Amino acid sequence: MNHDQLAHAYFRTTYIVEAPAGPIRLRIGERNGALDDLLAGSGVREWAFITAWNPGSFKLPPAENARNNADLEMRIGKGGYRFLPGEGVGDDGAWAPERSFLVLGIDQAKALALGRFYRQRAIVVGTAGEPPELIFC
């Protein structure tokens, strides 16, 4: 998958956060009031939506993806971040939903480092009051 195809796929994905008040559905470039409320209630402004599934955009078996994501979850927790589970669901259904995490209070540089560590091609980041943004790793 080339860069343009990959970007198109990310823009045609819904990033669903399993928040305490109910699911929050994020789309790149679309501001989300429910996310802003969650951030305000958590006392943070920055966030990232990160997965360890399918490194390099190569499909892996579910068990391997689950192990990778469990490692990511442990690493996020050790970093002292609050996080919520979620998943990225593509509009076309070509890929199975990817289990992910909304990491609260993480700055873009640290989120990018995590994405690179787990060999992700891109991550989704944002700041309160602004729409989600796609950042290539």
**Is the CB of residue 25 less than 8 Å from the CB of residue 15?**
yes
Q: Where are the domains of the chain?
A: 3-136
Sign of CA dihedral 62, 68, 73, 74: positive
Which tokens is 95 given? 């890929």
Instruction: Give per-residue pLDDT as tens, 97-121.
Output: 999 999 999 999 999 999 999 999 9
Query: What pLDDT does residue 6 have?
Result: 82
Gap between the Cα atoms of 110 and 48, Å rounded: 9
The pTM of this model reads 0.95
Closest CA to 85 of 66, 60, 109, 61: 66
Gap between the Cα atoms of 112 and 125, Å rounded: 9
Query: What pLDDT does residue 79 have?
Result: 95
- Whether 1 has a pLDDT exceeding 80, the answer reads no
Q: What is the DSSP string of 41-59?
A: HHT--EEEEE--SSGGG--
